[in-house]
Structure 1
Amino acid sequence: MAQQAGRRYLRAFVSGFFVAVPVTVTVLDRLAYVARVEGVSMQPSLNPEGGSEDDVVLLDRWSVRNFQVQRGDVVSVLSPRNPQQKIIKRVIGLEGDFIRTLSYKNRYVRIPDGHLWIEGDHHGHSLDSNNFGPVSMGLLHGRASHIIWPPNRWQRMKPSLPPNRGPLETEDDD
Structure 2
Amino acid sequence: MKIPSFVKKVFVGIPIGITIIDLVGYVARVDGISMQPVLNPDKNSTDYVFLNRIAVKSYEVNRGDIVSLVSPKDPTQKIIKRVVGIQGDIIATLSYKEGVVRVPEGHCWIEGDHVGHSMDSNNFGPVSLGLITAKASCIVWPPSRWQIIETSLPKSRRPLNLTVVEVF
**TM-score, length basis structure 2:** 0.93
Q: Deviations over 1:29-78 (max 9, x none)?
A: 1111111000100000100012x121000000011111121100000010
Distance in structure 2 (CA, Å) of the matches to 1:38 and 1:163: 26
Whole-Å separation in 2 of the counterparts to 1:20 and 1:53:
33
Question: C-alpha distance in 1, partners of 2:161/2:57?
Answer: 29
Match status 1:32 vs 2:25: yes
In the alignment, the residues of structure 2 paired with residue 97 and residue 89 of structure 1 have an alpha-carbon distance, to the nearest angstrom, of: 17
Match of 2:11 in 1: 18
The higher radius of gyration belongs to 1
Q: How many Å separate the matches in 1 of 2:141 and 2:4?
A: 37
What is the deviation of 1:153?
Answer: 0.4
Report how many residues are paired.
166
Aligned partner of 2:126 in structure 1 is 134
Structure 1 residue 13: deviation in Å? 1.9
Gapped runs of 5+ residues in structure 2? Answer: none
Aligned AA (1:146): C
Q: Give the Cα separation in 2 of the matches to 1:19 and 1:53.
A: 36
Structure 1 unaligned runs (5+)? Answer: 1-6
Partner Cα separation in structure 1 for residue 111 and residue 165 of structure 2: 25
Q: Using the alignment, how far apart are the partners of 2:165 and 2:134 within structure 1?
A: 31
Runs of 4+ deviating beyond 3 Å:
170-174
Matches within 5 A, 1:111-122: 111-122=103-114
| Native 8 Å contact 2:25 2:51 kept in 1 | yes
> CA 1:49–1:172 in structure 2 vs 1: closer, same or farther (change >3 Å)?
closer
Where 2:68 maps in the other structure, the secondary structure is strand
- Quote the RMSD (CA, aligned, Å): 1.6
Q: Secondary structure at the match of 1:63?
A: helix
Classify the secondary structure of the residue corresponding to 2:7.
helix
Q: Residues of 2 paired with 1:103 and 1:142: CA distance?
A: 26
**Amino-acid identity (%):** 54
What TM-score do you get using the length of structure 1 for normalisation? 0.90
